[in-house]
């Protein structure tokens, strides 16, 4: 063997390269262990009851979605899912509770569209509505209705506008979250009427006052349809760009005010605290997708005017959060709504 070959065969790897290789190897091993632990955790999850936080009080549209969803989800997962109503602060109280919970899959959030708009309405929100949450599943979109108590003198949207113009600030309109506030404010802007907007902590208290004629009108979800059918409430207009199947004879604001391009809807999804392991996200999404595909749950959602999308994935949920925030921010600013 020549001296050159002998030196080549005994060449020493520089210490800094050896150290760098060991660091990379250790990181890869840690990542592998973390992934293995996450998968193992997902295979046994859940082992105890799950809390589903609803940022509104009992009796509203969100609660009407949450309760049957929780019952059926508990059956699929093999553990009870308990609804925890936390109303107040335009969803801030409930959302903050979820944002600060451990990312272990045992605290979930029935997330309404208003969730991503709350920082536009409330000063010093203690969380980031996108960064501090993990999207899990998209449940569907939902239009709103402008309704009045049937004892009120107006029988159409045109009557309402005429009354409001003849009686500035005397017409009261109830809202229960950031989106309905946006809808009422946008209506005031495009119809050029002066109305008094009354904020409620949820659809339940709002509807009680509406049915009791303590407020004249309100922006409501389709879960109030039984009261419309009974004749206790009168549907005047819908907020979607096209008429809805459950109220084919009720016009849209876009029809009634040409050029307004009025479109204020909401959506519902399931979210969890940030950094929820992907394996748990996938386990939960699969269970939720199975539940909302069941015929009776499908009918329940349809009765609430909710349209289930073809894509309910975490990625679709993340996309609607971002896109909705961007689009609705423009409406909020156009309506002149300021944080309080």
249: which 2 tokens?
């004879």
pLDDT at position 12 = 61
C-alpha gyration radius of the chain: 26
Do 103 and 161 share a domain, yes or no? no
Do 136 and 271 share a domain, yes or no? yes
Burial class of residue 130, CB neighbours in 10 A (0-12, 13-18, 19+): middle
User: 38-49: per-residue pLDDT in tens?
Assistant: 455 557 999 999
Report helix, strand or coil for 45: coil
User: Is residue 9, in this structure, part of any structural domain at all?
Assistant: no
Helical H runs in the chain? 3-9, 15-44, 61-77, 92-99, 118-121, 157-166, 178-191, 203-211, 225-230, 253-256, 278-293, 295-303, 314-334
Which residues of the chain fall below pLDDT 70?
Answer: 1-23, 25-42
- Identify the domain boundary among 213, 231, 256: 256
What's the CATH code of the domain at 52?
3.40.190.150
What's the CATH code of the domain at 197?
3.40.190.10
pLDDT at position 35 = 53
Do 121 and 152 share a domain, yes or no? no
Q: How many domains does the chain have?
A: 2
Report helix, strand or coil for 230: helix
Host domain of residue 107: 47-142+266-334
pLDDT at position 324 = 94
User: Is residue 14, in this structure, part of any structural domain at all?
Assistant: no
Do 77 and 151 share a domain, yes or no? no
Do 138 and 270 share a domain, yes or no? yes
Do 181 and 249 share a domain, yes or no? yes
pTM of the model: 0.77
pLDDT at position 39 = 54
Do 90 and 239 share a domain, yes or no? no
């Amino acid at each position: 063997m020549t001296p050159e070959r002998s030196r080549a065969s005994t060449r020493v790897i520089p210490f800094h390269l050896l150290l760098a290789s060991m660091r990379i190897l250790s990181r890869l091993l840690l990542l592998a262990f973390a992934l293995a632990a996450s998968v193992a955790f997902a295979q046994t999850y859940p082992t105890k009851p799950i809390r589903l936080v609803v940022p509104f009080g009992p009796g509203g549209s969100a609660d009407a979605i949450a309760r049957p969803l929780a019952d059926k989800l508990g059956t699929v997962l093999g553990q009870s899912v308990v609804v925890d109503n936390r109303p107040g602060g335009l969803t801030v109280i409930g959302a903050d509770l979820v944002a600060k919970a451990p990312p272990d899959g045992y605290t979930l959030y029935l997330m309404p569209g208003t969730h991503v708009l709350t920082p536009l309405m409330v000063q010093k929100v203690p969380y980031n509505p996108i960064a501090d949450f993990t999207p899990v599943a998209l449940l569907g979109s939902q239009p709103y209705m402008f309704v009045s108590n049937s004892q009120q003198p107006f029988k159409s949207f045109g009557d309402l506008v005429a009354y409001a113009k003849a009686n500035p600030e005397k017409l009261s309109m109830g809202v229960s979250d950031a989106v309905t506030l946006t809808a009422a404010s946008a209506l005031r802007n495009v119809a050029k009427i002066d109305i008094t907007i009354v904020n409620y902590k949820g659809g339940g208290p709002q509807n009680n006052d509406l049915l009791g004629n303590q407020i004249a009108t309100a922006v409501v979800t389709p879960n109030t349809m039984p009261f419309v059918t009974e004749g206790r409430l009168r549907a005047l207009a819908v907020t979607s760009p096209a008429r809805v199947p459950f109220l084919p004879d009720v016009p849209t604001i876009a029809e009634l005010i040409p050029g307004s391009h009025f479109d204020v809807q909401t959506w519902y999804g399931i979210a969890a605290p940030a950094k929820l392991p992907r394996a748990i996200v996938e386990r939960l999404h699969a269970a939720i997708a199975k539940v909302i595909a069941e015929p009776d749950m499908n009918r329940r959602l349809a009765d609430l005017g909710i349209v289930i999308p073809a894509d309910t994935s975490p990625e679709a949920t993340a996309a609607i959060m971002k896109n909705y925030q961007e689009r609705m921010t423009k409406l909020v600013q156009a309506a002149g709504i300021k944080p309080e």
